[in-house]
Structure 1
């Protein structure tokens, strides 16, 4: 059997450190292609905990929309969720985000149930949910710590971090034309003790509450960005 040297383990540790998780979604995690082909998502951070990528149509007229429909958050059924993240937890996340968003956003814009003129709709979906080994800490780069961290990972006893990707898209309620889109990450670092643990909603409640605030800020920022653009001559 080939021995694993300290040098090799150090290399493994450094590799893992360079691949640290981020609150910004990766290109692989972004699966929605509904925005126009000639447009791209750009990184827009509301604060250190509210990072994401978004796009706002250059033709949207924010003053045109006076009401908003907030359907229930959807789960993308054709992807494989981590077995450590029960679908029941994602369903609870969906229900709570929907309820909180409808309540919180009503102070900014009228929330309605039916499509019509001057009505926009915000569609949210959970497109990805994974559990991954927690990143090696800097202290584990020292030889002994690196060995311990590598062994824990090999045995499956290392803490697991949960990463959930949620896409939010604002559309015209009648034409379904995209007006703005944001892709965000809910990440709960080290909430699972090992690769056999199952996620409980209570472990991500705080992160979900922050996400609801982020979606509200996204709606406000999309309107603000549209208002700042020069009016195009007709």
Structure 2
């Protein structure tokens, strides 16, 4: 049987790998890496650095082009568009495992952050396995997520005493607003900066981009029109400079309080 490791590699810092992740990297015969284009070549360099440091045994690296995905679709068409993209990725994973990994071999997918948080790899592997496409099993190695890194960089907890924390997307925040009864909301995948519609409501924002990398940017403070504009400008300039951006933020109804 073929063995697959799904390894969380943290938000970008090669030193964020866990000992379990390092051991898994040392067991893999083949690493499957997805090429996301020239604009994100620095992400590829970070993965190469991780492998250089921690893939201790002889191995191969197989690079495949990631299927295109339309991120501009309206909310009603979003789920079908994601499903179609996942099927194309599943076809790719199926081919990689079948053609590039020998029987009894060990392959690995490197996942930014944590594989269980807003990443498609686990669902896609489940789908490929359900197709009956090949005899393989997989093991998940958790990683340090961008959410954990955001909180650490801002030296704050994700929740206040005895209160829940809610994790959502920019699209959901735009459509539904802040959820009732939750004082702390982590927002991911927000290409349109939904927080700009929430200024003047007594919120505090902790924002971070390129977390865990040398290009990391942090901004925080009461969510006023001035700070919202500064974040938008900073984000636009960084995206123009690098060609891509990954950012996330925490909205807090009160800046007081701390972790339980």
TM-score range, shorter chain: under 0.3
* TM-score, scaled to structure 1: 0.26
Rg comparison, structure with higher value? 1
